[in-house]
Amino acid sequence: MSSEPRDQETHGAGDERPVPSEAELSEMSREELVQLGGRLDGVEIVEYDDPWPVKGTRAEKRSERLVAMWFGLAGLSALAFLAAFIWWPWQYTPPTPRDGQDHFLYSLYTPLIGGTLGLSILAVGIGVILYTKRFIPHEVAVQQRHDGPSAEVDRKTAAAHLADAGSRSTIGRRKLIKRTAGFGAGTFGLAVGVYALGGLVRDPWGGPEGEKALSTTPWQHRQPGEKVFLRRHTGNFGEISLVRPEDLAAGGMETVYPFREEDRHDHEALVHAIKAGDASVMLIRLRPDDAAHVVKREGQEDFNYGDYYAYTKICSHLGCPTSLFEQRTNRILCPCHQSQFDALQYAKPVFGPAARALAQLPITVDPETGYFIATGDFIEPIGPAYWERES
């Protein structure tokens, strides 16, 4: 009796061992595929001990509960992180006797979100390690490697090996571990997502009192006719030091911040006005000879008060503080990447990587008090970039 020889598929480059056809592969059980894969790959399993040869023992159940405990702890910690991240008081509260308890709660915000998220990461890792050590069969195998690409049979047998490993790990019948692992990993993933995106999700048209949060700064007038004074920072947030024209010598520069009379006794508002990233402004007094050669920007011809000009300190390159003013050349300097802006030409960039002029703050002198005030907010977004910026 003779049979026609079937075409033999080779296993890899230079490997002439025959392998079953696709029809034969489809009829093989997982156990047979595992054995076939090992044989084709030249794998010799030296040891493959089941960690729990006797099922359902107390020791096995204790190990299962221990793994489940860590996964459950990971989920609870992630939920605690989410609750703290969303609902815990995070806004600054001064440490005054009246608000001592509020300041204490505020001071716990960062440790809470850091501790709960860190505990969740730690618990997930410990749970995975414990499960691997206590339930995955301990295998010792020796494999002879071969050259060349993998054939179709390799992919099928590799998949069978993975499925067999999952089956032998008994994860299928350990519902407690599966549920707690899903709970822990799921809530941990949610926590990481919230943490990554939470600070980015912000309504550009929302803000306190209807302000456009991303289009305004603390210099924005809250109501018509409001006076926003220019204030210097003396190092004491509670000390109010306003600026008069005679306070600045010709060719001088001073950093100023917004101040409203209604905020005089509001410590939090005073601190925020100075610490806000978009509040700092350079008040520059040009020398009379230089002021006669100023080129003003179209639409901003009345933003200055005599020889006094006010520009944002936020560099239009990467947002560094442009905190240097060179009196001789009338250039505003950014020390980070050496951008230079010409104060005689509406602070337009003349050197360095910056490509946009510094935003100018409109100012004048309050006739009642003699102090500098801002007549409005910047008319364009400050800083390096903005999706609706036209300058």
Predicted TM-score of the model (pTM): 0.55
Mean pLDDT, the chain, whole residue set: 83
Where does residue 234 rank: exposed (0-12), middle (13-18), buried (19+ CB within 10 A)? exposed
On the question of pLDDT at 4 being above 50, the answer is no
What proportion of the chain, given as a percentage, has pLDDT over 70? 86
Q: Is 280 helix (H, G, I), strand (E, B) or coil?
A: coil
Residue with tokens 């599966």: 178
Q: State residue 312's pLDDT score.
A: 93
pLDDT digits (tens, 9 = 90+) for 13-45: 444 556 788 888 888 887 788 778 777 777 777
Cα angle for residues 61, 62, 66 (degrees, 5° grid): 115
Residue 3 has pLDDT above 60, yes or no: no
Q: Is the pLDDT of residue 12 over 50?
A: no
**Ranges of each domain in the chain:** 58-198, 212-374
- pLDDT tens digits, 110-137: 999 999 999 999 999 999 999 989 988 8
pLDDT digits (tens, 9 = 90+) for 308-345: 999 999 998 888 888 888 888 999 999 888 899 999 99
Q: And the tokens for 110?
A: 């960062």
Query: Angle at CA 170, nearest 5°, toward 164 and 174?
Result: 145
Taking only Cα atoms into account, the Rg of the chain, rounded to an integer number of angstroms, comes to 35
pLDDT band at 54 (very low <50, low <70, confident <90, very high): confident
| Topology of domain 212-374, CATH | Rieske Iron-sulfur Protein (2.102.10)
pLDDT at 6: 41
